[in-house]
Structure 1
Amino acid sequence: MADMEAQLATTSPSMKPQSRVILWTAMRCCSSAFERSIRELQGVKSLYEPHLTSFYYGPERQNEFLTDEDLLSNSLHTYDYTDQILLADYEGCNAVFAKEMAFYIPKERFARYIEGDFVNFKHSFLIRDPRKSILSEWKAIVRSGLDYTSTRDASGSGVKGHAKLYELLDFIRSTGREVTVIDAADLLKNPEYIMQVYCRQTGLPYDKKMLTWTPGEVEDWATKNKRFYKEWHWNAMYSSGFGKLAPPRDTSQLPSIPEIIPAIVKEDIQKSIPYYEAMHKFCVKVDP
């Protein structure tokens, strides 16, 4: 999917008139539901974590946690090449939206996304209280048959994800750029208001239709995350809107969730709270 999208890039992406928006986030911050909402907008190209392939599979990959042989060491999955997916011209679209994990981006590349061809991109952030996001992440990792400790050490899980998100937000704000910060709790509490504000601040076209969607699998979610996409995206795929619960999944064949939360999970939660609180100060205020 990433390769196919990148082939659409023009030779002069800085000349394109399209609006460009990136939603930076961490794991289990309701970002899949957020992206699912954006997919309801006509004329908006929605991109699912373009740099996932660069981070996990490409020649510059940051770890060796995932080992899908179809993607591993694909020479096309360099960071520069994947950037072209964000810069590509998509026929019939007047805006491009990308949901991206902040931890995919090496710190030395932060400046790349506010300069040159990226200078007109709008940057937004979706955060969530780690007492909810990391706990949900731990459960998803267990359901996937993985070990939380080894997973967090090899990727952007746990405190790493929240710390990197804060670092990126702090960097972009330090340049004087305006950012839009959304708390997942506010999004779920008042999705209509939050999405109206989000669209107004980022330049995306608001449509009330984006508050609901038809349940079903999303092709490129599965393509990029073959092994685990159902464990991680079930609620977003099979719900019908913000706060509209998906039907229960049959988990009888999956590992069970331990009754006692491991100490390392609790530790990650506590270490992540200061990053969350620092970012929360910049959140869109919910209409009382």
Structure 2
Amino acid sequence: MSDKPVFLATHPRACSTAFERVFMTRRDTLTCAHEPFGDSYYYGPERIGERYANDESARESSGFSKSTYRDVLDRLEKDGSEGKRVFIKDMAYYLTPPNSQPAVIAKSLRKGGDDDNYSEEGNPTVLPLDILKKFHWTFLIRHPRRAIPSYFRCCVPPLDEVTGFKEFLPSEAGYAELCRLFDYLREQRVVGPALASGEPNGTGNNNNTANGSGSSGVSITVIDADDLLDHPNDVVQAFCRETGIAFTPDMLTWDDAENQDYVSEAFAKWTGFHNDAIHSKSLTARTQAHKTVTEESENEQWRQKFGKEAQEKIRACVDENIPHYDYLKSFAMKF
């Protein structure tokens, strides 16, 4: 079983912070890094994100204007040198240039000098393959019809005054980038070819025993947020089994002042995005399943909430990303 740092790669509004809170209760054995690559993606000298490209004051005030991808990796390495395993939750798109632009390796990570075109064939990220191999990769997804309207809400009034995200950027939906990263890691046998199993003790059809040459020994572990919300105990147990993290039932409860103070500080740099997770006390199964809705009723709901122009933007972004979600869903653990 791998003892590498666990990297949970996801997209915005996938319930990933609620899932991360589970592992933040295990400070005896784990050190959690909350979206560390956003520092270099948005603000640093190697930034590839669009949002603050022309806003130097925002980059400076963030405190991360000098953070390179090497700086982030050095912090993660330091976290792992303190006798605990590192658990990283981050957006796949923080590693990948937006709008399907070709990726070049971040300057601070290049071995070939200062060549601005230094890249690796097939690698969609700014991290070289030898660094990608250092992590135990896992994935969390949520249907775009729920994740994208939730993200849109964070980028428009009144919440935009809190988050600082003043515009909804479809390039930050994150599904396409997650797919490209996922496929590359599979092609390079960093994960797979065996699928993770949601069955107790790995007894299901997707047995996590990898056979044959070229097997990484790291299962393809994809979690759907709906499964997490419906079966939190089973999902967390299965995830722990696949990653080699010791599971205890009390990981799903954090109703104490020490845990609350810890997460409030950890989530502070993304103000407004994680309020529900910060104020939660546990991860319990939801009591009501999502109702089946039609495209027409969704459109009307979004129109009433955000206006007609916004509804059209949301619909276009949802429809564009459903195929990416469906593809990743085909690899998800079954519960």
The 1:126–1:108 alpha-carbon spacing in structure 2 relative to 1, beyond 3 Å, is: farther
Q: Give the partner amino acid of 2:33.
A: L
Give how far 1:100 is off. Answer: 0.8
Secondary structure, aligned partner of 1:151: coil
Unaligned runs of 5+ residues in structure 2 are: 53-57, 97-102, 106-122, 193-219, 287-303
Indicate if the aligned counterparts of 1:188 and 1:243 stay in contact, CA closer than 8 A: yes
Give how far 1:62 is off. Answer: 1.5
Aligned to 2:76: 86
Whose relative contact order is higher, 1 or 2, with alpha carbons under 8 Å and at least 6 apart?
1
Aligned to 2:142: 128
Matched, 1:99 2:93: no
The alignment of Structure 1 onto Structure 2 pairs a total of residues equal to 250
Give how far 1:86 is off. Answer: 2.5
Unaligned runs of 5+ residues in structure 1 are: 1-16, 246-255
Aligned to 1:37: 22
Aligned counterpart for 2:40 among listed residues 50, 54, 57: 54
Indicate if the aligned counterparts of 1:59 and 1:78 stay in contact, CA closer than 8 A: yes
The 1:117–1:175 alpha-carbon spacing in structure 2 relative to 1, beyond 3 Å, is: closer
Matched, 1:169 2:159: no
Aligned to 2:227: 186
* Pairing 1:4-15 to 2, within 5 Å after superposition: none
Report the RMSD for the aligned CA atoms in angstroms: 2.8
User: For the residues of structure 1 that align with 2:64 and 2:277, how far apart are their CA atoms?
Assistant: 30
* Pairing 1:260-275 to 2, within 5 Å after superposition: 260=308, 262-275=311-324
User: For the residues of structure 2 that align with 1:31 and 1:196, how far apart are their CA atoms?
Assistant: 16
TM score, norm. by length of structure 1: 0.77
The 1:279–1:140 alpha-carbon spacing in structure 2 relative to 1, beyond 3 Å, is: same
User: For the residues of structure 1 that align with 2:31 and 2:281, how far apart are their CA atoms?
Assistant: 20
User: For the residues of structure 2 that align with 1:148 and 1:94, how far apart are their CA atoms?
Assistant: 34
User: For the residues of structure 1 that align with 2:69 and 2:134, how far apart are their CA atoms?
Assistant: 19
Aligned to 2:283: 242
User: For the residues of structure 1 that align with 2:129 and 2:316, how far apart are their CA atoms?
Assistant: 37
Q: Give the partner amino acid of 1:175.
A: Q
Give how far 1:120 is off. Answer: 4.2
Indicate if the aligned counterparts of 1:19 and 1:94 stay in contact, CA closer than 8 A: no
User: For the residues of structure 2 that align with 1:28 and 1:266, how far apart are their CA atoms?
Assistant: 16
Aligned counterpart for 1:141 among listed residues 141, 144, 155: 155
Secondary structure, aligned partner of 1:218: helix
Q: Give the partner amino acid of 1:140.
A: C
Matched, 1:152 2:169: yes
The 1:209–1:112 alpha-carbon spacing in structure 2 relative to 1, beyond 3 Å, is: farther
Aligned to 1:22: 7
State the Cα deviation string for residues 129-153 of structure 1 (Å, max 9, x = none). Answer: 0010001111222242379994306
User: For the residues of structure 1 that align with 2:160 and 2:131, how far apart are their CA atoms?
Assistant: 41
Give how far 1:236 is off. Answer: 0.7
Indicate if the aligned counterparts of 2:175 and 2:321 stay in contact, CA closer than 8 A: yes
Q: Give the partner amino acid of 1:262.
A: Q
Q: Give the partner amino acid of 2:267.
A: W
User: For the residues of structure 1 that align with 2:80 and 2:72, how far apart are their CA atoms?
Assistant: 15
The 1:105–1:271 alpha-carbon spacing in structure 2 relative to 1, beyond 3 Å, is: same
